[in-house]
Amino acid sequence: MALNEYTPGTAFPGTLGRTFDVSSPAWPRPLRAKEGAPNVLFIVQDDTGFAQMGCYGSPIETPNIDALAKGGLLFNNMHTTALCSPTRSCILTGRNHHSNAMSCITEGSTGYPSGNGNIPFENGFLSEMLLQHGYNTYAIGKWHLTPADQISAAGPYDRWPLGRGFERYYGFLGGDTHQYYPELIYDNHSVEAEKTPEEGYHLTEDLVDKAISFIADSKQVAPNKPFFLHFAPGAMHAPHHVPKEWADKYKGKFDDGWDAYREKTFARQKELGIIPQDAQLSRHDPDVPDWGTLSPEEKRLYARMMEVFAGFLTHTDYHYGRLFDFLKTIGEWENTIIMFISDNGASAEGGPSGSVNEIKFFNNVQDSLKENLEKIDELGGPSTFNHYPWGWTFAGNTPFRRWKRETYRGGISDPFIVHWPKGIKAKGEVRTQFAHAIDMVPTVLEMLGIDAPASIAGVTQSPIHGHSFAHVLDNADAPTRHLTQYFEMMGHRSIYHEGWRAVCPWPGTSFKESGAFFGAPIDKDKLTELDAKGWELYHITEDVAENHDLAAENRAKLIELIAMWYVEAGKYNVLPIDSRGTLRFADERPQIAVGRTSYTYYPGTQAIPANAGPNVVNRPHSITADVEIPKGGAEGALLSAGDVQAGYAFYVQGGKLHYVYNYVGNQFFHAESNVPVPEGRHELRFEFEVTGAPDIKHGKGVPGSGQLYIDGEMVGQVDIPVTMPIMLGIGGGIVCGADTGSPVWDKYEPPFKFTGTLYSATVDVSGELIKDDEQALKIIMARQ
């Protein structure tokens, strides 16, 4: 029997008598989606170039992604912002990244409306919109859309996934994470992975398992309720982590180098119809050496780095296949709208020679061929945080110029596939219309027959900036509705308008020439100079790879586009231009707590993200632990920060007090007490005293001296001649009473929980240190 239902907020349609027998019931109608409403699945892959998947001409095997393209539509003219957080904000809101306060990644936020990292609530997420229409909403994997200082257990949580319209979440909140020891968040709290690397754990498999379980949880109760799943694996961002057998599938496949890769992939792209037959390959990049000029050792290392990347991508594709097979098994495949996109072009964050530790890039530390070769057999495993050299980046963006973080097409023109068997008649075709990540939301809304809401949770909504491309899905000849699009990323600017692009590269077209890889500020005088003579002009309708600069011969068009860039910048809140690159990461930012110099932590609590904790970089500081040592002794970490990339640990082991500082994973400075830690309650302390000045340009923070104390008596010390200059680490966070996840060094096994009683650990950055010159002299003499 059908129940009498009514819309909440309207008059009760039943009858109310004095008793039940003379009354008739009516129920508030549950929010239900339209009958037959399709599911929506966004797959947002990280750092994947235009030419790195099989369906885009790559020799890397991606059969499940290729099947999406074969059964759907492949776009060759989709664009992003050139960086992850900004693009992801566009994908979910349909608004431009500066209007989303995402001029950069969250860790590079600035105190201006264009870049403070707080996405306005008037810029609603697709998840918030679809909740109003009866959808389940899930986010899995990388988030990177919450201000970096707001991802701790102190919140606020309103800009976490569950605060922006997602009902369930499982993944990591930052920009990248260790694939074997991830920093996992389940809904609004941190959790540990259910297995270890030795037991076969890998993040991608875990994420797909959770995606399947989230969908199954709902479908077994409400089979007709559609879902929106935002699935964003850590792949293909560094670290390029994959079990060895996957990388070994590609042994020898890249021995002929990146130049050969470009030529073969370019030919394959023409064969597949992805680029015009008369297209020209972009010039050889001045920052990339010819493969033939490399030494045998360099070729061996760089080829292996690419084998690992390729294995990682094929491994990721395999797990996509598991998700797709599940959708087919439950009968949801045909009626699921899938949009697959990369958030930017291939990444050059491995530097010119690749890296076994990506944190070096963010701290201006140069890589060593010798050190990297020593780790060649560990690449892809949990002891590295590896990334390939930018020769492979350049090749991965074939046929375009440059890469991630720059607004040449290599940074902003990215793979994009749309698949919906039930709703799109066309199959296996290429779409050439200009599109941008901000177009995804309005397209989905049009495909679902839903209007953008006027308000969400009482907040009046801003206009959506994107343009639907739903009309081109079954009509290859339909014109694009998106005629103009600006780009700006860390001072690198460009604009598209009706087949033309003007580009103002900064700090230049070659880092070798400019010497400014890590950022060079554009002041008002430099901006005036750049606007006068720093722009290039390309007619990409005829010159897809931006080979022929027409600025000199078509000055009128160039001036028109430069003026248009400023109009768009005013419209979408772009200014001021901040081109400092990674130097922005060192800026002070407001914290949830009031300003203080002392931070007290307790065991058994969640890890504290680095941005929400004390900044010990380039400053004197101390760590004081209040402990009780039982009879028979204790061991374990008192306080740790960072991970295999970089960090420190203050701990007890073998009865002694220890401190270790990990500088970029290859230098470890270790102090050990010269006496045991006695039984009973004691104050254990480490101090870092600054002894010199930093050299940030060359990747060196302040040198210093570290001292160990037990109840105020110095018991050990270590010289620390070099420290991290900009940031201590990307992952790991600050952990009290343990070193969970990827350990700071390999002299103990995680989680290395302290086995005594730890009451608290306090980090003090006031600069007040113990002065005990006599005891210091005794320690020095004892070491002679």
Is 468 in a helix, a strand, or coil?
A: coil
d(CA 216, CA 143): 22
Residue 31: CA count within 13 A, CB half-sphere = 10
Query: Confidence class of residue 362 from pLDDT cuts 50, 70 and 90?
Result: confident
Share of the chain above pLDDT 70, in %: 97
Tokens describing residue 780? 């020095």
d(CA 429, CA 69): 8
Lowest mean pLDDT among 202-206, 377-381, 607-611: 607-611
Instruction: Cite the beta strand spans of 505-593 per DSSP E.
Output: 536-539
User: Residue 414 pLDDT more than 90?
Assistant: yes
SS3 624: strand
Rounded Cα distance between 152 and 63, Å, is: 39
Distance of CA 596 to the CA centre of its chain: 30
CA of 735: how far to CAs of 521, 591, 692, 702, 707, in Å?
36, 19, 28, 24, 21
Q: Render pLDDT for 569-613 as a digit per residue (tens, 0 to 9).
A: 999 999 999 998 777 877 778 877 777 899 999 999 999 888 788
Closest of 487, 492, 500 to residue 516, by C-alpha? 492
What's the rounded Cα separation, in Å, for the pair 348 and 334?
A: 38
Q: Read off the pLDDT of residues 12-47 as tens digits, 9 standing for 90 and up.
A: 999 999 999 999 999 999 999 999 999 999 999 999
Taking alpha carbons only, the member of 307, 434, 331, 265 closest to residue 36 is: 331
Residue 344 to residue 407: CA distance in whole angstroms: 10
Query: Which positions ≥6 away from 391 have C-beta within 8 Å?
Result: 257, 258, 288, 289, 291, 302, 352
Distance CA 425, CA 406 (A): 36
* Average confidence (pLDDT) over 521-539: 93
Say whether pLDDT at 457 is over 80: yes
In the predicted model, what is the mean pLDDT of the chain?
94
As a whole number, mean pLDDT of residues 533-555 equals: 97
What DSSP line would sit under 109-135, residue for residue?
--SSTTTSS---TTS--HHHHHHTTT-
Each residue's pLDDT tens digit, 417-447 = 999 999 999 999 999 999 999 999 999 999 9
CA–CA gap between residue 152 and residue 65 (Å, rounded): 35
Q: Which residues 6+ apart lie within 8 Å of 577 measured at CB?
A: 488, 491, 493, 522, 527
Which pLDDT does position 771 carry in this prediction?
64
What average pLDDT does this structure show over 74-91?
98
- Per-residue pLDDT averaged across 526-553, rounded? 96
Task: Give the pLDDT score at 777.
Answer: 41
The angle that helices 296-329 and 63-71 make with each other, rounded to 10 degrees, is 50
For 679, the token pair is: 């039984």
Per-residue pLDDT at 591: 76
Q: What is the structure's pLDDT at 776?
A: 41
Residue 653 three-state SS: strand
When pLDDT is averaged across residues 112-137 and rounded to a whole number, the result is: 97
240-275 in b/e burial notation, b at 16+ Cβ within 10 A? Answer: bbbbeebbeebeeebeebbbebbebbbebbbebebb
Whether the predicted pLDDT of 364 surpasses 90: no
Q: Other CB atoms closer than 10 Å to residue 156's CB: what's the count?
A: 11
Three-state SS for 10-74 is: CCCCCECCCCHHHCECCEECCCCCCCCCCEEEEEEECCCCCCCCHHHCCCCCCHHHHHHHHHCEE
- Residue 194: Cβ-neighbour burial (10 angstroms; 0-12, 13-18, 19+): exposed
391 phi and psi, to 5 degrees? -65, -40
Q: Rounded to the nearest 10 degrees, how much is the dihedral formed by the CA atoms of 124, 127, 128, 131?
A: 160
